Amino acid sequence: MKDKEKEFYELAEKYHRFIAENVVTADSVPSLIDLLMKLYMSAMMLPEAEPETIRASSDHSDAVIVRFSEQIPTTYWEVFDPYVNTNPICGDLVDDLSDIAADLRNGMIEYDAGRFGNAVFEWKFGFDNHWGQHIIDALRALNSVRPR
Model pLDDT, residue 65:
84
Name the residue ranges covered by the structural domains of the chain. Answer: 3-50+68-145
Asked if pLDDT for residue 11 goes beyond 80, the answer is yes
Residues 117-148 have pLDDT tens digits of 999 999 999 999 999 999 999 999 999 998 87
Domain 3-50+68-145, second-level architecture: Up-down Bundle (1.20)
Model pLDDT, residue 94:
93
Model pLDDT, residue 49:
87
Model pLDDT, residue 55:
62
Residues 34-82 have pLDDT tens digits of 999 999 999 999 998 888 887 644 554 567 788 898 888 899 998 878 8
The answer to whether 94 and 65 have CB atoms below 8 angstroms apart is: no
Which residues, other chains included, contact 125 with Cβ-Cβ below 8 Å and sequence gap of 6+? none
Instruction: Considering only residues 9 and 64, tell me which one the structure prediction assigns the higher pLDDT.
Output: 9
What is the secondary structure of the chain as a DSSP string? Answer: --HHHHHHHHHHHHHHHHHHH-EE-TTTHHHHHHHHHHHHHHHHTSPP---SS--SS---TTPPPPEE-TTS--EEEE-S-TTS----EEEEHHHHHHHHHHHHHHHHHHHHTT-HHHHHHHHHHHIIIIIHHHHHHHHHHHHHHS--
Residues 71-120 have pLDDT tens digits of 888 999 988 788 999 899 999 999 999 999 999 999 999 999 999 999 99
